[in-house]
Structure 1
Amino acid sequence: MRKSDSGTTTRPASGRHPAGLRRHFAFGLRHATVHGLGEAGAAGDLDRLRSLLHPGVAVVVDRGEPDGSEVRVVRGPYDAAEVLAHGLAAGPGVVVQERAVNSRPGLMVVDSGTPVAALAVDFTGALISLVWVRMHPAPLRHGVTV
């Protein structure tokens, strides 16, 4: 709340609390970054992918095996961009969809109508710092958890 020239208390013009505006802006920025990730990956644009990634980025690829034996981690923007470009590459029947994953902006790779990978994305500031890729996301049929 703030005081106007007449001495009365008024709400900010937007009707939102400044902290709420920051969260709203951050969500929009993250959504736009995830959108860019999907586009750049599908196009194989390594330079654009790298521009979205934090220098300490990690990509975790979980093949979906129950024992967790097929989990691989790639670190750094150069290797991460290569893995993401490969995984998000467009092809016949392959579509990258923007989807909420774990209640955050994420991506789903669908091949001929079947989900083949879900990507959950975490951020450090405005840059992507972690991408968790779950292959064969059968648990996602009715939900959005990875």
Structure 2
Amino acid sequence: MRPVILLVVAATAVAVPLERTCSRQCTGSSKFSYRPGTVYSYDYRTRSETSMQGTMQDKAALIMDAQVDLHVLGACDFALELRNVRLTEEGGTADQTDFQRSLEQMPLKFSFQDGRVVDVCPSEGDSPRVINIKKGILSLIQNSMNK
């Protein structure tokens, strides 16, 4: 009886797909003609400034530079990957090596249909802060124009 139980467990483990898709459904529209297997690379730069109301001296600015790669995995499935992330404080360098590594560590899979990000499927190891930064980058690629 034990060999039968082991066989069922082994069959279940083999049936799990190795690469999970993110799209719940796919319209199959090729409005923007992205080709599976293609990687689109972009230079990304953002500057974030925080300050205290009522004072000019209590403000800080953080600049993030990165290479953004959009991997076309399928008709509606994509992955965003960050490389060469550099964080700098205005007027100096921010020592945030661990955070830079966490931004580069895992891709963010997403469903992209007719110019809209429909679903986002973060990796289990990504922190909410990392996911939010990647979602902010995804918001920049959305495009609802007609063909």
TM-score, with structure 2 as normaliser: 0.27
Between structures 1 and 2, the one with greater helix share: 1
TM-score, with structure 1 as normaliser: 0.27
Larger radius of gyration: 2
